[in-house]
A = this chain, B = another copy of it.
Amino acid sequence: MSAIKYRIAVDAMGGDYYPEVPVHGTLRALKELPGNFLIQLVGSRRAIEDELSKRMSAMRYRGYDKSRLEIIEAPQVILMNDEPAASVLAIPNSSIHVGVRLQRNNFSDAFVSAGNTGAIMAVSLTSLGRIRDVYRPVLTGVFPTMNGYCVIADLGANAEATVELLVQSAQMAVIYARHVLGCVNPRVALMNIGEEEGKGNKLTIEAYHELKKLREAGQIQFVGNVEGRDVFRGRKADVIIMDGFVGNVLLKFAEDIMPLLKDWQRALVKKGPPLQKVFAYFGKVLLGPLQKTLKKELDYQKYGGVPLLGINGNVTVCHGGSSPLAIVNAIAQAGKMVEQDIINKIKNQLTTS
């Protein structure tokens, strides 16, 4: 066995389906992902071992390298609807606390969790702190687009934004797009309610001005304002900056589009004439492969997790409803954040700018 290069702590008690999904995802990651990393499953040892032995009975995981998996005991669980602020004080030995603490004490290099976003953020902030000169950490997600993907920041880490925060979000998101997603010179845009300079509210008008300065300094390729319709088209920008309130509303709106259309069609079929039911059935069968490809392209799980950029550590948040595949992809992405030393790249960028 070659030497372990880095260690990723995975929250075994996070998300809507724990410990099944995180444990299953971990086993798949160990089998499928390249690279010599160690996974530290954090949570109730008993629950994790039960789940592991269940999974072991499936042939395909028998061959995984046990020396690359550690179990770290965390006796408490923060639930998805616990209040972040309260949980930080009241549940100090939760899997989130233990996972983050491993990193602070240099026993781990990254933390991946599908748990309570607010709690992950609060614990990361109190335990790991921010990178020097960072105002606030930012949730930086990846949306699928017709041309590939688009990095969106902030998805809701901060309900209240400032000009400085938007500018920093742009700088951090560019580093992420460049070094983790491999977009060499990302086009950065500002979400606004009109394309021309001077459109928007006080925040976006001033942010436009500051982002223009960064462009003139050769730091980022700022392409100006974009509007709501430009997110999924992907023609104009690779990174779109917006305040966390707008980002969160948009994320929750966008996530539900495909399920909504499906439900809506189903309701219409139910109300419609019987012959339409038959037509719809065969139509769906014929369109099946295409729909499947479209669904795959639109799948947020491709990118697995959303890094909390600006934290003095590697913390990746996954959707509460994540599948094992999403966990695998989040682990891969967290690994890339470690390999590319994103924290130091952000540090250098922010202190030299």
With A160-B202, A256-B229, A267-B146 as given contacts, are A191 and B249 in contact (CB-CB < 8 Å)?
yes
Contact A228 B200 (CB under 8 A): no
Complex interface bits, A267-294 against B, C-beta within 8 A gives 1, otherwise 0:
1110010001001101111111110011
Copy tally for this chain in the complex stands at 2
Chain B, Cβ-Cβ closest to A269: B290
Contact B279 A252 (CB under 8 A): no
A47 within 8 A of B: no
Chain A contributes a number of interface residues (CB within 8 A of B) equal to 55
A189 to chain B, nearest CB (A): 13
- Residues of B near A245 (CB, < 8 A) are 193, 200-201, 204, 246
Contact B232 A193 (CB under 8 A): no
Contact A290 B272 (CB under 8 A): yes
- Residues of B near A265 (CB, < 8 A) are 290, 294
A304 within 8 A of B: no
A233 within 8 A of B: yes
Interface residue ranges of A203-233 to B (CB < 8 Å): 204, 227-229, 231-233
Contact A228 B257 (CB under 8 A): no
Chain B, Cβ-Cβ closest to A279: B286
- Residues of B near A156 (CB, < 8 A) are 193
Contact A264 B229 (CB under 8 A): no
In whole angstroms, how far apart are the Cα atoms of A146 and B262 in the complex?
11
Complex interface bits, A156-191 against B, C-beta within 8 A gives 1, otherwise 0:
100110000000000000000000000000000001
In whole angstroms, how far apart are the Cα atoms of A264 and B228 in the complex?
17
Known: A229-B252, A231-B253, A276-B290. 10 other contacts (CB 8 A): A159-B201, A193-B245, A228-B253, A242-B249, A264-B297, A268-B293, A279-B289, A279-B290, A282-B286, A283-B285
Residue pairs across A and B with Cβ atoms less than 8 A apart, 12 shown, are: A146-B260, A146-B267, A159-B199, A160-B202, A191-B249, A193-B249, A200-B245, A232-B260, A272-B293, A279-B289, A283-B285, A283-B290
